[in-house]
Structures are given as C-alpha cells and as structure tokens.
Amino acid sequence: MNVLTVIGARPQFIKACMLSRALKSYPEVNEIIVHTGQHYDASMSDVFFEQLKLPKPDYYLGIGSGTHALQTGKMLMELEKIMTAVNPDMVVVYGDTNSTLAGSLAASKLHTPIAHIESGLRSFNRKMPEEINRVVTDHLSDWLFCPSRSAAENLKREGMEKQVFVTGDIMYDAVRHFKSFAGQQSTILQELSLSENNYYLATIHRAENTDDPNRLKAILEGLMQLKKRTVLPSHPRTKRKIDEFKLNDIIDTSHIKMVEPLSYFDTLTIASNANVILTDSGGLQKEAYMLQVPCITLRDETEWMETVKTGWNRLAGANKEQIADKVMTCHTPEESPPIFGDGNAAQQIAGILINGDAEN
C-alpha cells in the first residue's frame, strides 16, 4: 500500500513525524514523503527533519515563497506529476497551509482518496487564507481526523458526519514524546541567559499581523510595555516587515530579545519554562495548553476556542493596551481538561487508514 504524505511547513513536519512512526508498524505500508518547500529556510525545515528523525523526503519541490496563487499553482503542477507517477492508494495532508490545499486539490482531481489530519478547525474568518484552505480540504477529504469534539461539531454543521473521527491532536503525541528529551538536549535557556518562569515568549508570523504596519507596530508596542523580558523568535517574513515598515527603532533590546527561529527542542524548552506565551500561531496556542502555560493570542479570533473556554487562552488582538492588560491580569487556571485526547492520535489514525479499525 502506497501512502503519499504532503508536507511543507514546520508544524506539519512535527505531526508527520508521529504518523510516520505509527505507519512503520504496518509492513505492508510504503510511505512516500513529498516536501513542497513552502518552509525552505534551514532553521525552519532541515533542523526539524534531523531532530525528529523524520525520513528524508522522497521528493523535494523547492517551491519557496510567493503569492498564494503562485505558490499553490506551482505545487499543484508538481504534485500532479508525482501522484500520476506513484499512483498512491491515499494522500495524507496536514493542517491548513497552501501545501495542504495543493495536496488535496491534486489528489481529488486524480480521484485519489484523501486523509486530512487536523480537520474541522474553524476561525469563521474567511479573510484568513488558512480558513479557506481548511474548508476546501475538509470538503474534498475522504477521512476527516479531528483533534477535538468541537472540531467534529463544526464539520457536522457543514453536513459532514461520515468518516469523521475524533482521535485527539497528533501534536499532543509529539509534545508527550519529545518534551523530556528536549529538556535534556536543549541549552537554549543558558544560551539566552534566561531563568525559568522569568520571561515571556512571543511569536508573530500571520500575514494579518505582519503585513499590516499598524497591527505589527501595536503588537511590538504592547510587548514593550510588559514587565518581564520577551523572547521573540523572528520568522523571516516578520523580520522583513519590521525592516520594511521601519519599526526597529521602537524595539528596545532590553525588553524584547529577537532571536533566530528556534528548533523544535528549543521551542518546547523555552515554551514550557515561560511565564506567558503570546502568539498568533495556532500550533503554539495548542502547545501552550499542552504544556500548561497561560497564552495570550495576538489575533481577533482563534480556531482553538476550547483553550479560551478553559481559561488558558485569552484573545488580545493587535491592541497594545489589551496585550499589556491581559498579561498583567493573567493567571493559571486550576484545571486543564483533556480536550486534545490522550496522546495516542497517531496510532489511532494509522489503524483507521490501514485497517479501518475504529468507531466514528
């Protein structure tokens, strides 16, 4: 059985690592990995393959950056060629990137069954390109693997109830598997002269924030008002936009420490020891919950409303006063319900795909 996996961005490498491990227990499965090159910077790609022991891609497309149409179009052309040559029994896609969309579109045109992992998420904001990617991919897919009950409810409201499986979040598998090992291997706290629970971690990469000079400026000004030092790993796009909008002058390095993108092990270590995480990343919102670190989301809405309802996550948008206020009034909730499953999502997904041995 040929399983073709399409990946292209940091969170997808982490999720694919766990499913690849699970698929190895099925000798009849031959996994073919296609890396689109959507994340092509070595610090956001190569290091993840090395640390996670993810098999090297069988195909590397090297698509790189570009407009959504250009990026997706190039991927479609190359993926169609590969799928036609390989003739896979199924195509596996993850999350909500342009790689996800291209993989699902190419497979559907070739009448190849599609498995969408992290299905059913909705921010209900169609201005987000990720939201379009999620909705289209869900409606094209043959297996819909949901990280939570609320994700399955979203699909039900859109008329999708068959082949919907609530397996828990495959990212939780990775956090449980790698957290202790990351703590032993990573030296990031020493390298940055950080002490446990005495700093904030922030990430900014969504186009809605980075491409809007007013929002980006407001977020940086909000971080500048915080009492503890903030570590800001800089996505390449964020660095470019800070330079383009001439915002470097408002960054006081005694308050905001900008660093290069971090490896997965360093991210786990620095996130688990932070006082508060401030982010516009969907993945880091989840990881904050899994690591039991309070989170402030730098967006006006989130696809992870479960984390908000439990009190671990609070929305601040790009309002500098709200950012400062929500951090100052932040507290650690007493409970953290198991909303993302038991950390065994990969084995469940593999079993369903190969043997169909699960209940909807």
Other C-beta atoms lying within 10 Å of the C-beta of residue 326: 21
Alpha helices in the chain, H assignment, sequence order = 10-23, 46-52, 68-86, 98-109, 129-140, 149-157, 170-185, 188-191, 207-210, 213-224, 236-244, 264-272, 282-291, 305-309, 320-328, 345-355
> What is d(CA 146, CA 156) in angstroms, rounded to the nearest whole number?
12
For residue 35, the SS3 value is strand
- Catalytic residue annotation: 205
Largest CA-CA distance found in the chain, in angstroms, rounded: 58
Two structure tokens written together for 155: 């699909």
- Among 277, 126, 326, residue whose Cα is nearest residue 208: 126
